[in-house]
A and B are shown apart, each in its own frame.
Chain A
Amino acid sequence: MQKYSIFSLIKNAFSNHDKWDLAWKDSSPKKEYDVVIIGGGGHGLATAYYLAKEHNITNVAVIEKGWIGGGNVGRNTTIIRSNYMHDDNGLFSEFGMNLWRRMSQDLNYNVMFSPRGIINLAHSDAQMNVYARRGNSMRLNGIDAVLLNREQVKEIIPMADFSENVRFPIFGGLMQPSAGTARHDAVAWGYARQADSMGVDIIQNCEVMGFDVSAGKINGIRTSRGDIKVKKIGLCVAGSTNILAEKLNMTLPIETHLLQACVSEPVKPVLDKVVTFGAGHFYLSQSDKGEMVMGGDLDGYNSYSQRGNLPTLQHVLTEGIAMMPFLSKLKMLRTWGGIMDMSMDGSPIIDKTHIEGLYLNCGWCYGGFKATPASGWTFAHTIAQDRVHELNAGYSLNRFNTGYLLDEKGLGTKTWIS
């Protein structure tokens, strides 16, 4: 593999950039693998990378129905944070933050990690109390958190609506200064390139048709490009989890819903933080190109279509304009949608299953992007060692049976209420 550096850039400039190697091979499936990861998104590619790097397991294939990075890793609003209250979520996400901080060096690929900070706005005294509690919980877990009053917020984001007679006045906010954003596609491509260089086969346009299970054990999979014998399978397919679970006669605590996002026309730098509206569900940041990137609520009913509906978009943008009135002057450039694997307590599942050799990674709801490295790292550990790591012990499948739920938002099982 060619190393990307200033020297290789200069060298290749002399040949008009015609001589760069492909970032990864277009592999065809072999007859047999030690591990097959189903789903070539961020989590699947990261899992393959950490299987090779941390566990020296390289007879691995990542199979993807479409093209890699075409699902939610290419459709999110790129926010990275670890501002969780519960220990399991906080410690897992903060472990991920450390992987994000050195990801560009690790992968020799610029993922443009930008730890610009996130501010969750509060709009009442009660909400300030809740944020103080969350901030304290975060600090106990070694995560940075700063409680800001109204004046401090105004200093950082003066363009927000600080007028007196508004329905949801800004009382203050909770800031995680180390949170930020990254270039989402680069994350998928960086992991793919490194995994490929260590011997992982990345197989695109390969759909899983069925599983070969006998005596409670995985023996192989049937794909649109032939049968593959395999000892271990990692399922990493986000919104398509239920479709594959049905082929395994499994019913999971997951519902698939649609989430929209949109970007405005590019404008000059105005916002150097990620900001979320506290009286509804709206988040906003500015990309390096100058576009305002925003998103909010789910469309609100089960959906497998990767495109959204206007009532929700209107609702979300109304919240945005209430928070930052200047948004009303901008034209929208693009809107898009992705399908979310909404779990019944809002937290993910990384676990073994009742089928030997089948491992499950799902339930990321609308927070999967930031979890990409930690998810890949812990899932690789779970697959390689056939046991969960302490970091993902809380993300068990049987917590819905034992009652150890991880309901960070306290929303219960109605996943469409967001």
Chain B
Amino acid sequence: MLHIKCPHCGMRSQNEFSYGGDASVKRPNLNKEISDQDWDNFVYNRKSLRGKHWELWQHLSGCRQWIKVERDTTTHEIFNTLKADEDIS
């Protein structure tokens, strides 16, 4: 069982959260010319890092906020959590 520290609610068990994938993926800026490759990178292509990975989770059975979590994809150790609008340093 993972224990995730929600920046809004504190430490909660994994059962309260749902996963949202790689948090480093950026939607292309719609005001600019967007190539097919840009869309591919946004929609499909993933680094799927082994080791430290910033990812989105939603505290679905809690405050319902989306948060960012830095987790090791091999050991499942969680290093850091941020609110959704906080930038990954």
Contact = CB atoms under 8 A, between A and B. Distances in A.
A binds B: yes
Interface of A: 242-243, 246, 251-256, 300-305, 309-311, 344, 400-401, 413-414, 416
Nearest to A250: B45
A305 B44 CA distance: 23
A301 B48 contact: no
A416 B21 contact: yes
B36 interface: yes
Contacts of A302: 21-22, 48-49, 53, 55, 73
Interface in B1-46: 1-2, 14-15, 18-19, 21-22, 36-37, 40-41, 43-46
A310 B14 CA distance: 10
11 contacts: A255-B22, A255-B46, A256-B48, A301-B19, A303-B74, A304-B73, A305-B74, A311-B14, A400-B45, A413-B43, A416-B19
B44 A400 contact: yes
Given A309-B14, A310-B1, A253 B46 contact: yes
Given A304-B50, A309-B1, A344 B44 contact: yes
A242 B43 contact: no
Contacts, number: 71
Contacts of B19: 300-301, 416
Interface string B36-71: 110011011111111001010000000000000001
Interface residues of B, number: 27
Contact of B45 (A251, A301, A309): A251
Contacts of A400: 40, 43-45
A375 to B, nearest CB: 21
A402 B50 CA distance: 29
B76 A305 contact: yes
A305 B48 CA distance: 13
A401 B40 contact: yes
A232 B2 CA distance: 42
Contacts of A414: 21
Contact of B2 (A255, A309, A416): A309
A402 to B, nearest CB: 9
B48 A255 contact: yes
Task: Across the A-B interface, give the 9 residue pairs with the lowest CB-CB distance, nearest first.
Answer: A253-B44, A242-B48, A251-B45, A400-B44, A344-B44, A301-B19, A304-B50, A255-B48, A304-B74
B89 interface: no
A401 B35 CA distance: 11
Nearest to B53: A302
Contacts of A252: 45-46
A305 B40 CA distance: 27
A416 B55 CA distance: 13
A246 B47 contact: yes
A401 B21 CA distance: 21
A185 to B, nearest CB: 25
A303 B50 CA distance: 8
Contacts of A256: 48, 50, 73
B86 to A, nearest CB: 20
Contacts of A401: 36-37, 40
Contacts of A254: 46, 48
B51 to A, nearest CB: 8
A242 B73 CA distance: 13
Nearest to A242: B48
A344 B45 CA distance: 8
A33 to B, nearest CB: 27
Nearest to A341: B48
B73 A251 contact: no
A243 B21 contact: no
A311 B61 CA distance: 15
A246 B44 CA distance: 16
Contacts of A255: 21-22, 46, 48
A242 B46 CA distance: 8
A303 B46 contact: no
A413 B74 contact: no
A57 to B, nearest CB: 32
